[in-house]
Amino acid sequence: MFPERMLEQRSFLRDEEKEVRFLGEEEDEDEESFEDEERDGFDVDGEILAKKRKKKRVTYAESIEDMDFSATFISGVACKPLSWEEEEEIQLKAKAEMAGSLCLTYRRTGLSLKGYFLSQLPDLLPLADFLVYLNLSFNCLCSFPKEVFHLKHLEVLKLRNNPIKFIPEEINQMATLKCLVISFNLLTSLPAGLFALTNLEGLDVSYNELETIPHDIGNLSALTYLNIEGNFITVLPCSVLKLNFLKRLKLENNFLHPYFWNEICQLQPQRLTDLAAHCFAKHKMWKKHRHIPKKIEEILCNFRICDCCPGPLYGDGLQFICAYKNEYGLRLPYLFCSCSPTCYQEYYSRATSQ
């Protein structure tokens, strides 16, 4: 029965004459309605007849379930419904933009967008001239937000709990920065540009994937707080000992135990080029050799000061570990690089005799 009725409904749209029957005169209810229409002004017989011809009755299905509305209804879909996560993301993004707008309106020097789960930041450029504090912790920033380089007066930047893999070299542009927190990220190295921030007083790179701390950390002369906990660090650079203002050094949950020292303190021979350059500089041979080829000159100019003496150090030098006690009596390993075997022997015998 059902397919037949479906057929009836569909064929009704194609050919009305087959599916309907005209209303008979014996149907009082409908007749009455026509009388009403007549009273309301249908007083011309021809017009009423024409109306009667149009009045048709469809052979309806017996129950609503049997009816197929697909052919007679237009079903519209406004848009694809958003998931709960997508809606929340849109709301948090809007809130973050609102926070930025309020900061601009009231010219606040601090802005916290902590825990907004943002993958992109709102426009921070309008805040460039006055923002001092910016908290972007607990977001979803996959890369270091380069927008912060435009914040000329920023002193505190917090980026805890983001999946950031590296800090770009351009961080050296943030000359006013005093505190950088970039813990619980995915950093595997620290850029040289970071150690150009001589105003930096606090640095937190804890719980990343760092294996070494660069020797250049000694350039951060204003540093009072350094947190390197929860990394894969086996030895500290000796330049940390030169940080005169360092009051707090946090380094738990690394590989600094003496058990690992033997593995990393194996002396490796120096490169002949580095040794030759060291001899050339030590004996001031440039006085005899006035015309030096450019390649040799480049090698001779590429040095840093030795960790054990005031002389020049070429290449990695002779690397060795010396353990020093910290303020709590804990012996910590520091990596030294000496310029020559003689320099190494002198320094090591002096250090171990103390």
CB nearer to Zn ion: give 103 or 308.
308
Supply the minimum distance, in Å, between the C-beta of residue 120 and Zn ion. 50
Q: Are 227 and 210 in contact (CB under 8 A)?
A: no
Supply the minimum distance, in Å, between the C-beta of residue 178 and Zn ion. 34
Supply the minimum distance, in Å, between the C-beta of residue 320 and Zn ion. 12
Supply the minimum distance, in Å, between the C-beta of residue 317 and Zn ion. 8
Supply the minimum distance, in Å, between the C-beta of residue 336 and Zn ion. 9
CB nearer to Zn ion: give 184 or 303.
303
CB nearer to Zn ion: give 277 or 308.
308
CB nearer to Zn ion: give 103 or 343.
343
Residues in the chain, total: 354
Supply the minimum distance, in Å, between the C-beta of residue 112 and Zn ion. 48
136/111 Cα distance (integer angstroms): 9
Q: Are 174 and 148 in contact (CB under 8 A)?
A: yes
Tokens of 305: 């000061």
CB nearer to Zn ion: give 79 or 272.
272
55/22 Cα distance (integer angstroms): 7
Give the binding site for Zn ion (CB under 5 A): 306, 308-309, 311, 338-339, 343
CB nearer to Zn ion: give 214 or 311.
311
